[in-house]
Every structure is written in structure tokens, then in C-alpha cells.
Amino acid sequence: MKKVMTGNEAIARGAYEAGVKFASAYPGTPSTEILENIANYKEIMSEWAPNEKVAIEAVIGASIAGARSLASMKHVGVNVAADPLFTFAYTGVTGGMVLITADEPGMHSSQNEQDNRNYAKFARIALMEPANSQEAKDMLVEAFDISEKYDTPVLFRITTRVSHSKSLVELGERINKEVIPYEKKFNKYVAIPAIGRQLRHTVEDRMNKLAEFTEQTKLNYFVDNKKKDLVIASGMSYEFAWEALGDSVDYIKLGFTNPLPKNLLAKHAEGRERIYVIEENDPYIEDFCKTLGIKVFGKDLFPYTGEMTPDVIKKYVLSTNMESFEVEADKVVNRPPTFCSGCPHRGFFYQLGRRKNAVVSGDIGCYSLAVGEPYNSMDWLICMGASLSSGHGAQKIFDLDQDNKKRVVSILGDSTFFHTGINSLINTVYNKGNTINVILDNRITGMTGQQDNPGSGYNLNGEVTEVMDIKKIVEAIGVKHVRKINPNNLEEVKETLDWAFGLDEVSVIITDWPCVLKKKYMDKDLESYENVFRTKNMVLQDKCVGCKACLRTGCPSLVFNKDLKKVSIDSASCVGCDVCLQVCPFDAIVKEA
């Protein structure tokens, strides 16, 4: 049977067919849908983890216990997971173990553009790169065989276009892979220095065996179009190159990329007029070719950043541009991303943005949108969980100047708090900080698409589970000044900020209101919220004077008519959060009857 699938869906299918027993992940674009789809296969135990380090550690445990296991995450998540990954690279596996890294050339929804192929080389583990959905499924099945045969974790690198583009996939049957009976192997798995020194030689021996494998595997192959020019590419870059250049060049298509096949490359590089290495981000393949003495055109020709899409390849190889529609820039309305109508973050940032002495330490989540108009309420954003700890360090420096009245407000969401924010808050309390720390609890992992987290009360499979009470956790850490507020109540937000700014000790404000998109638990989890998502507002046109005060709340349901010089509310999107109603100085906004 064949089915059209995204790369992420195909990977989930590959996990099923490979006989995977356990999978764990933390959601992050473009990897999120992998675990969501794996959860549809009841033969696989699937879990959302609080962060990527915890996810891979759970998967490592499953592997040691004898089962095939899988972890998935976006590229920056591997940074969080690197500590256990590097040690597991030494110990090797029992049941096959694959780590999927979803890299994002072009940074469509990421804070940086790192090339995680370097992790495979750094950790000395096998690396595979599919180019389409069919390869994503088939190669994942093979990845588990490679993992077990060569006693190695496998880094499985995909990119945004592989994750989210669709193509036809031929489905197979599930391998009945039994759990390998557990045996105590302390000389393999107890990572103390004496054992680590022995395992270091084992790792090198494994890489030598993989160097032989990479020359023989069908994952790396030559495409002979009888041409003088050669393109070397892996992953989606191969698909892009084929679309741009077709059969006008020969190709070396690389699917197994650590170690790289030096004999295959050297053999087919001989006698070429031009050799192009087309790859996204780092010159990973290019640098290897140069060590072999192969002269190639790489990052000296192609851009060092962004995607190597067909238009880019044609521009730099053929000096031609692909046909495209011309757009008159002055007629395109600039539409920056904004909070949803009824988003609980808007009321809070509306009030925070009015504080002139606030320095805002931001974090990863929907609330990063507060950096722009009309809030202008974010001074920096580093990585998940960094808001509390970086804010603490900044406040320590600001406090050196007795005349400096700056107060750091560190902000993160509920899922990010569980991810790595708890550790950061512990650091702040332990080191006697005095920052204002805000946890925006919207009861879900909003930015990546409504995934459950330890504060939502449900696990990945929709089962009711313990709710991690953020207020109790914060108090257990040692924070004495804690308040939970409704962020849509502007007077309550203002009074609470006054309270926090008046303290000289660490404080925590928890905004408690559900994400406006959190519909699936409407009748259960949300019943305690009075009138949530059930009311709408309207503008009394005879009272509206067009002052635009309500527009400063940033709500996309508010529409200003330039001809009438009045505001109206789009009833289809309004959810009656009442933030605009509280802001209007002329009482022109009321509840719909």
C-alpha cells in the first residue's frame, strides 16, 4: 500500500515498521509531528518529556533494557541532550537507538541555524540523512539495524523541508523485534573514568568498521548521467539540486554521512571539469573533500546561510534566475506575527510595556512576540529556560550602581518552566537574587501546536495524570513572594506589578489563563474558568471617537476604519477577553447582548 506522507509522518511509520518499543521527545518545530504521529501506533510507548535531555535519557534507559527506542527533537534541542548523548556514544547500545535531529536552515522558527551533522562527527556516532519521505521511512528502519550491528547510537538528520514536504511512501509491515533479555554489563554501561578509558578504544574501533560500511552501503551511490560536472549532496540538498540541474550533471548522493565515503568520493571526482558540493549550513562535506585533495566549489560559491533551494542553485551554478511573479513591495502590507485574539499574554504585556524602568529577559515561546509593537517588552532572548538565569545575572550587575533603578522582569511559559526554568529559578533563589519572575501559565505548550506538558493534566496519550502545581513548586524552591493572577484583569496586573517592583527579594507572578486555542478540553479542564471563550465584545459606534487606545492592546480582532475613523470588532475572532473593554476611555466597548 502507498500513502502520501510528510517526512515526519514517514519517520513515525518507520519507527513502527522497525519494531520500536519506546519513544520520547520534547516538541519543537520542525520535529513536533514525529512523536504526535508515533503516538498513533499503540505498539510504541510514547511520551512527551519535560525537556530533550530527559527524553534522550529515557530512551537510553529503554535501549539498555533491550528495546529499540527513539528520541526526536529540533536542532537546538540536541544542545540540551548533548551530555547524555556523548556518554552513550561511548557505551553503545543494547536495543537499537536513534536520535532524530530536525535542523532548520533558514531559521523559519528557530533562534539560530546550527548544523547538527557536526554532532555526529564530534560524538563519533553514525549519521544518516534522508532526502524525502520514502527515504525517511526506509532509512529509519535501516538505522536501527546499523545501530545494533555497530553498537552505536545513530543521529538521523532531517531538515524543515524533509519534515514538512509530502511525497508518496510505500508502506511495509512491522518487524517483530523482541526485547533483548537484560544482562548486567557494568564494564559497558557504568561510565566512570576507568571504564571510559577502555571504551574510548572501542569507539575508535567502531568508527573504523563504519568507515568500511560507508563505502559499501547503498545509502551512498553515484548517479551517472555521462556528464563532466559532478554534484555532491546529501538530504534535501540533493532533491533541490536535481530539481535545479536535472541530468545536466552527475551526482554522488550521500545518505550515510558519518563517516563519509572517501573512496567513493575520490573515485568519481577524477577527471571532472567542475565539482559542486551543495549543502546547507556548514561546509561539512566540502571540508572532507578538501582533505582528500578534491577541488570543489562549495561555500566560496554558494551562500553560507539559508536553504539551497533550486532558485539559489540555478543562480550560482547557471547564473540564471527562475521565473517568478514580480511583487510591488509598496503594495504589500507588512503583517508581523502577533498574539491571537484573546491570548492571555496580551493583557500582561500591555501593562508591562508601560513600565519605563523594566528590563525584560525573554524566553522561547509565543510570548517572544512581545518584542514588537505595540508592547516593546523584551530586551533579550537566549534559549529555553535562560530568561530566569540570565535575568538574575543582569540584575546583579544593575544593582552595583546604587542610582540605577532598573528592575529585571524575567518571563517564560509553563512548558518552558518545566523544561529548564525550574533549575534557573533555583539558582536565583539560592544566590539571593531579587528579580521579578513571571510564569505565563496558559495550561499548554502553545507555540508548537497545543502539546500537553506536566502542567496540563494529560499525557501524550490523552490519559489523565498528575498536574504539576506551579505555585507549589515555586514555593517549595523557597520563593516567599508568589502571586497567581488573571492576566486579562488589567487592574490586577497593574497592582501585582506594583507589588513586585516594590520588593527587594525574588518574586514570582503566575498568570493563570488558558491559551485561546486550547479547545479540546473545553468541557473538562476549562470549566473552572468563568465565561472563558464564551463571550464577545462589540463597539458602540456612537461612542467611539477613534482615539485608538484599544489598538495598543495589539488584538487582531480590533479593526480601525480609516474613512470613518472608528474601531469595530471582528465578532468571528473575538473571544471576549475584555482587555480592550478595560482600556477604552470612553466606555465605547461593551459585551455583546
Whether residues 208 and 256 share a domain: the answer is no
Whether residues 151 and 40 share a domain: the answer is yes
Q: Which of 172, 192, 216 is the last residue of a domain?
A: 216
Q: Is residue 148 part of a domain?
A: yes
Nearest to 281 by CA among 129, 473, 110, 117: 117
Whether residues 411 and 307 share a domain: the answer is no
Q: Is residue 531 part of a domain?
A: no
Q: Is residue 528 part of a domain?
A: no
Q: Is residue 328 part of a domain?
A: no
Alpha carbon of 513 to those of 220, 368, 532: distances in Å?
52, 18, 9
The domain that contains 126 carries what CATH number? Answer: 3.40.50.970
Helix 470-477, helix 422-430: angle, nearest 10: 30
| CA 492 to chain CA centroid, nearest Å | 33
The domain that contains 259 carries what CATH number? Answer: 3.40.50.920
How confident is the model at residue 398, as a pLDDT?
Answer: 93
**Which domain, by its residues, includes 480?**
344-512
Whether residues 312 and 390 share a domain: the answer is no
Q: Is residue 324 part of a domain?
A: no
Domain count, the chain: 4
How confident is the model at residue 443, as a pLDDT?
Answer: 83
Q: Which of 166, 191, 216 is the last residue of a domain?
A: 216
Whether residues 382 and 311 share a domain: the answer is no
Whether residues 181 and 210 share a domain: the answer is yes
| CA 283 to chain CA centroid, nearest Å | 23
Whether residues 120 and 9 share a domain: the answer is yes
How confident is the model at residue 489, as a pLDDT?
Answer: 95
Whether residues 27 and 152 share a domain: the answer is yes
pTM across the whole model = 0.90
Whether residue 23 contacts residue 47, with contact meaning beta carbons closer than 8 Å, is answered with yes
Whether residues 78 and 116 share a domain: the answer is yes
Whether residue 85 contacts residue 56, with contact meaning beta carbons closer than 8 Å, is answered with yes
How confident is the model at residue 333, as a pLDDT?
Answer: 78
Coil, strand or helix: which one is 340? coil
DSSP letter at 417 equals: I
Whether residues 305 and 174 share a domain: the answer is no
How confident is the model at residue 528, as a pLDDT?
Answer: 63
Q: Is residue 518 part of a domain?
A: no
Question: DSSP H helical segments within 278-373, as ranges?
Answer: 284-291, 310-313, 344-352
pLDDT by 10s per residue, the chain, length 593: 999 999 999 999 999 999 999 999 999 999 999 999 999 999 999 999 999 999 999 999 999 999 999 999 999 999 999 999 999 999 999 999 999 999 999 998 888 999 999 999 999 999 999 999 999 999 999 999 999 999 999 999 999 999 999 999 999 999 999 999 999 999 999 999 999 999 999 999 999 999 999 999 999 999 999 999 999 999 999 999 999 999 999 999 999 999 999 999 999 999 999 999 999 999 999 999 999 999 999 999 999 999 999 999 999 999 888 777 778 888 887 777 889 998 999 999 999 999 989 999 999 999 999 998 899 899 999 999 999 999 999 999 999 998 888 999 999 999 999 999 999 999 999 999 999 999 999 888 888 888 888 888 889 988 989 989 999 999 999 999 999 999 999 999 999 999 999 999 999 999 999 888 875 554 456 666 666 777 899 999 999 999 999 999 999 999 999 999 999 999 999 989 999 999 999 999 999 87
Q: Is residue 331 part of a domain?
A: no
Q: What angle do CA 97, 102, 105 make, to 5 degrees?
A: 150
Whether residues 100 and 184 share a domain: the answer is yes
Whether residues 228 and 203 share a domain: the answer is no
Q: Is residue 454 part of a domain?
A: yes
Q: Which of 512, 547, 563 is the last residue of a domain?
A: 512
